Amino acid sequence: KGTDENGEVVESWTSGKEAEDKNADGSAKPHKVKLVAGTYTLSEVTPPTGYDPANPITFTVALDGTVTSTTAGAVDGKKVTMKDALTEREIEISKVSLTGNEELAGAELKITKGSDETGELVESWTSGKEAEDKNEDGSAKPHKVKLVAGTYILKEVSAPFGYLMADSITFTVGLDGTL
């Protein structure tokens, strides 16, 4: 929604909902608003599923139509852009033996982003090594990692002593946090 310097709502909309806010392929396009000279604030009331709410953007429309803002990167010409960040989701990674449900310590694991193992390294760890990956009795517990929506590969780099390495697992985190 857009409000003026007095806090009065100038216009409110849902991005990509109305026909004039959609491209031919159905994707969202910028919403156009006609404004007189003044100072305004663009605020997001409800972000799309899987995104964190963006910070409000205050901008000024000058008498000559130029638009300025103190928010870095928010204004380009006469266009104000609000950017949402994907929501981080906490995911548990469990390393267990093939025949049981007990967590195994000593596996070197890594997660890369994308659908092939050459993707960007997101995180690597050794199961049961760090304090946050241990129960009070010292046994291993699942490792927790925060990931945004996307496709990832979990790869075992080195297996615990006495075990064979597991095959890599490709998985997707949905916008709603489902796997």
Residue pLDDT, tens place only, 23-40: 888 888 889 999 999 999
By CB atoms closer than 10 A (0-12, 13-18, 19+), residue 54 is: middle
Cα dihedral: 65, 70, 72, 78 (round 10)? -10
Mean pLDDT to the nearest integer, 141-166:
95
**How many whole angstroms separate alpha carbon 173 and alpha carbon 137?**
32
Find the radius of gyration of the CA atoms of the chain: 24
Kindly report, residue by residue over 79-116, the tens digit of the pLDDT. Answer: 999 999 999 999 999 999 888 788 999 999 999 999 88
- Find out whether 130 and 124 touch, Cβ atoms under 8 Å: no
- SS3 readout for 152-167: EEEEEEECCCCCCCCC
Please report the pLDDT score of residue 35 as a whole number.
93
| Averaged pLDDT score across all residues of the chain | 92
> How much of the chain, in percent, has pLDDT values that exceed 90?
76
pLDDT score at 117: 78
Quick one: pLDDT at residue 71? 92
